[in-house]
Structure 1
C-alpha cells in the first residue's frame, strides 16, 4: 500500500507500526521516524514566513484565520504524481495541519481516488483508537493491537507509580505570547502524570488567558509546552513565565514530540510529565524531552 501522510502524528503512527517502507509522501513537519522528511517527498509546506517570534506567529495566524487564508500549501502536482492508495489527514485543527477538506478538494481536482482517513482524537483513548484505525486501513491490524497494548501497559505503570501521591496543580501553557492554556488531550496527560490541570479545557480547543489570570491561578507548577516547538524553544519561552511568576516552579517540555502530536509518543510525554511532577516516582526521561527550568 502507498501511504501519503499529511499529518506528523500519522507519520509517527505509520512508523511505529513498522510501515515506513510504505510511506510515499510526508509533510515538512514530519520528523519521526527520524529523518523521514529527507527520505520521502514533502507534499505539504507551511505558508507562514520563517523566523517569526511567538507574538508575530500569533498575529499571522489570526490574520489568516480572519481572512480565510490557508496556513499550509499542498503540492497537488506532486501528490497526483505519487498517486497514493491511502491518505492520512485531520480536521481537528486547521492551525496545526492541513485540514481534510482541503485534501478532498485537491483529490477531486487532480482526479485521485485514494482512500482518506481523518485522524481527529480528543482524548488519549481516541489517540489509541486512531492507531488501531490506521493499522486496519493499512493492513497492519495485528501490529496495531500489539502497539496499543504496549502503550496501555506503560500508562498503567505510570498510574501505579503516582498513585497515592499528592496531585500537584499544573497550568499548561501551549503558547506564551499571548498565553494560551492547552486543551484537547493535554489535561488528561497531566492527570495521568499525577497532576491536576488548571484552566485547561478537556477535549476542547486551547484558549487565551491573561497573565493576571495566570498569576491568580495559584498553581504549584507551570508547564511550558509551546505548540509545534521542541525543548529548546520551550525553555526559551519559559522566560516569560519566570519574569511574571517569580516564585512558581516552571517545567519546559518538547511539546512538538510529546504533548501536542496525537501519536504513540504521547505516552513518553506522560512519563516525562510524571517525572517532572513527582521526582523519583518514575525513571528520569532521556535528555531532550523535559527540563525543570526553575
Structure 2
C-alpha cells in the first residue's frame, strides 16, 4: 500500500507515528502535540475551549461546566482538516477531557474529507491496550513490522526492570497524584507501572479511570513514596501546585514526607502519554522508588523531576 497521509489528534499517537518512521507523512497534529520537536511546525487542527493556563481548581470548574452543558472541551478546525487531506486520522475514544471525542472526529472526517478516510480510535486503559494501540497504528499505516519491532524494544526494557523488581520482598506503598484540586489519584495503567517498578498501589485498580480521593483516605494509606504528576502539567507547573498539597492537615505526618520521598514530576512528557515513552515513564518511576538500584534512570531525566523537601 502507498504510505498514507496521517493526521494525529493525540500527543501519544504522534509519538507512535514518528517512532514508526512516518514523520514525513504526518500532515496535521493536535494543539498539544510537541514531541518530537521536529513536528511542531505541522498544522494544528484542534484547540481547547477553556483556558488551560489557570490553576488546577479553575480548570476543573471549567471542564465540569462544559460537561454539564453537554459540550466538548475542544474544537476541530474543519477547514484545515479538509486542506491537509488525510487518508488516516488517529484519535481516541477513551476520555473527552483528554482530546476531541471520537464522534466529533468521525463526523468531521465524513463531512470534510470523504468516505475513504480511516478514523482509528485508540482506547488505552491498561498497559496491554497501549501495546495493542501501537499495533493498531502500525496496521492502519502499513507499518505493522515496524510496530512489532518497536514493541520488542519496549518489552526488552520493561523485562530488564522486572527481572530486578520482582525479587523485592516488601514493595513500598506508592501513590501517584494526577490532579491536586480536586485531589485525584492516577488510574488506568499507572497501578501497573507502580507494580512493575517494584512498588505497591493499594488505592487504585488497574484499568479504572483517575478517581477523586478523600485526603483522609490518602493519609490513612500513608504512602512511602509520593509522585505528583498532574495530567498535562510540565514540571514547573506541577511544582507551582504542590503548595496546595502541603497545606493539607497532617501533610507533614506522611511517611513519604518524613523520609524525603515526595517527588514532583513532569506529567506532560511522562506518565500521561500512552505511547512509546510510557517505558521511559516506567524507568523514571523505578528510579524514584529505588534510586540506589536504578539511579541511571534518573541521570538522563533530571529535568523531569524534583524532590520536594
TM-score tier, shorter chain, comes to over 0.9
Partner of 2:176: 172
Select 1:140's aligned residue among 140, 143, 162.
143
Partner of 1:246: 252
The secondary structure found in structure 1 opposite 2:200 is strand
Q: How many residues align?
A: 293
Deviation, 1:111, is 4.7
Partner of 1:102: 104
Structure 1, residues 155-187: CA drift from partner, whole Å, max 9, x if none?
001112323223111111100011011111111
Partner of 1:153: 156
**Does 1:277 find its partner at 2:277?**
no
Structure 1, residues 19-59: CA drift from partner, whole Å, max 9, x if none?
1001000011001111423x210001111125311110000
The secondary structure found in structure 1 opposite 2:83 is helix
Deviation, 1:97, is 0.6
Unpaired runs of at least 5, structure 2: none
Q: What TM-score results when the alignment is normalised by the length of structure 2?
A: 0.91
Q: Distance in 2 between matches of 1:100 and 1:22?
A: 22
The secondary structure found in structure 2 opposite 1:129 is helix
Q: Distance in 1 between matches of 2:202 and 2:79?
A: 46
Q: How does 1:1-40 map to 2 (within 5 A)?
A: 1-37=4-40, 39-40=41-42
Unpaired runs of at least 5, structure 1: none
The secondary structure found in structure 2 opposite 1:246 is helix
- Are the counterparts in 2 of residues 198 and 219 from structure 1 also a CA contact under 8 Å? no
Deviation, 1:237, is 2.2
Deviation, 1:221, is 1.7
Q: How does 1:1-294 map to 2 (within 5 A)?
A: 1-37=4-40, 39-113=41-115, 114-165=117-168, 166-244=170-248, 245-247=251-253, 248=257, 249-282=261-294, 283-285=296-298, 286=300, 287-294=302-309
Q: What TM-score results when the alignment is normalised by the length of structure 1?
A: 0.95
The secondary structure found in structure 1 opposite 2:252 is coil
Regions of 4+ moved over 4 Å: none
